[in-house]
Structure 1
Amino acid sequence: MNSKYQDFVPLKAIPFVEFLINEHNFTLKIVHQRETKHGDFRSLPNGKFQITVNNNLNKHQFLLTLIHEIAHHVTHQKFGKAKPHGKEWKTVFQHLMLPFLNPEMYPMEILPYLANYLKNPKASTDSDVKLSLALKGNIAAAGKNFIFAIPQGSLFIFKDIIYQRGAKRRTRYECLNLANKKAYLFHQNVEVASYQREYS
């Protein structure tokens, strides 16, 4: 199957994705990586609608992000001013994701975590540590490490700031910002750069 989406979503998902794009009448823009989000939905001044998704996501991350944003669009169309990630959005998102919950689109290494996440989906998949790691194949980006893999007490860089990794507090790691001496909590699946390697 030749499709402009074949490099971005699993092959078997393409017909469903093309149907949703045509059915819900929005423009999809694939954009460069943004640090703060994987995708977004917006209503444009001209009355049209646009969804953007980052181009650095793997096919399984891209598909989930796209359906997440389509759910915002459908929720907006059906309910008007509903809460961004409220019960209306959750219901729409769950419904839209149903056709994709099969091993032809998501491998068995991901499916159980995805199904569990969809019971009560959150604003960001990154807040679900197990799903986030499964979507990444438990492999951090080149030149980075997951924060849980860094020894306690060692230094790392996150968004150009040097931190010292502290102890785990329930589900997050308490880390010291060396610039302002304040402590911050990091999700277990955050990817950080080694201070020694980057600044030797």
Structure 2
Amino acid sequence: MDFKNFIPFKAIPFVQFLIDEHNFTLKIVNQRQTKHGDFRQLPNGKFQITVNNNLNKHQFLLTLVHEIAHHVTHQKFGRVQPHGKEWKAIFQHLMLPFLHPDIYPKEILPYLANYLKNPKASTDADVNLSMALKGNEASAGKSFIFNIPLGSFFIFKNIIYKRGNKRRTRYECLNIKNKKVYLFNQNVEVTLFDKEHI
């Protein structure tokens, strides 16, 4: 699969340069529940980056550059903290050419710039950026936690929960199976569940 179909058109030359410069294989793979992308060294010594095929162009680009930053960090520093200060500095540097309204729309740019001041391991940890990247719309057939009424039941990773009260930024949700309460970020996407089935 050609990466050019998965990123904004104006980003193609920059990404092509990064691929040529840093010598890795890019694989576009089916959606994984736990991650958007990853970077690894293969048994033959070559390097591979994978990115999920279900991401929109802006999510895909950010994930790809995130993983390229892991590769560059590994080349430059060897084994260091996966999302430590070395990776953060390289990720910020690699993202600079993409912080442009021709690549990221003005609705996303302020959240992206704010996130890059101190990038986290996952973009989903930054609720505002995550929502902006999704165009403030959940995937088909799903809802964001904050849109689910208090006391409603929903499914997340094949487990049924009941939505509870909001704390400062997260929601208390009761796991129906083990009766434990878990905290969910408001941008988590879940499937509504008809409680008559419980």
Same fold (TM over 0.5): yes
Q: Is 2:140 aligned against 1:142? A: yes
1:141 aligns to what SS in structure 2? Answer: coil
Alignment of 1:71-90 (within 5 A): 71-90=69-88
CA distance in 1, matches of 2:159, 2:46: 39
Backbone CA RMSD of aligned residues: 1.4
Within 5 Å, which residues of 2 pair with 1:165-184? 165-184=163-182
- Residue identity matched to 2:36: H
Q: Give the aligned partner of residue 130 of structure 2.
A: 132
- State the partner residue of 2:157: 159
Which position in structure 1 is the counterpart of 2:20? Answer: 22
Counterpart check, 1:62 vs 2:60:
yes
Structure 1: segments with no counterpart, 5+ residues: none
The amino acid that maps onto 2:45 is: G
After TM superposition, give the deviation of residue 144 of structure 1 in Å. 0.2
For 2:120, the equivalent position in structure 1 comes to 122
Alignment-derived partner of residue 49 in structure 2: 51
* Dislocated runs of 4+, deviation >4 Å: none
Task: Give the TM-score normalised by the residue count of structure 2.
Answer: 0.97
Structure 2, unaligned stretches of length 5 or more? none
* Cα-to-partner distance string for 1:108-128 (whole Å, 9 max, x where unaligned): 000000000000000000000
- Could you state the TM-score of these two structures normalised by the residue count of structure 1? 0.96
Cα displacement (A) at 1:161:
0.7
Q: Does 1:40 align with 2:38?
A: yes
Return the match for 2:95 from 91, 94, 97.
97
Corresponding pairs, count: 197
Aligned identity (percent) is 77
SS at match of 1:84: coil
Distance 1:194 1:130 in 2: 23
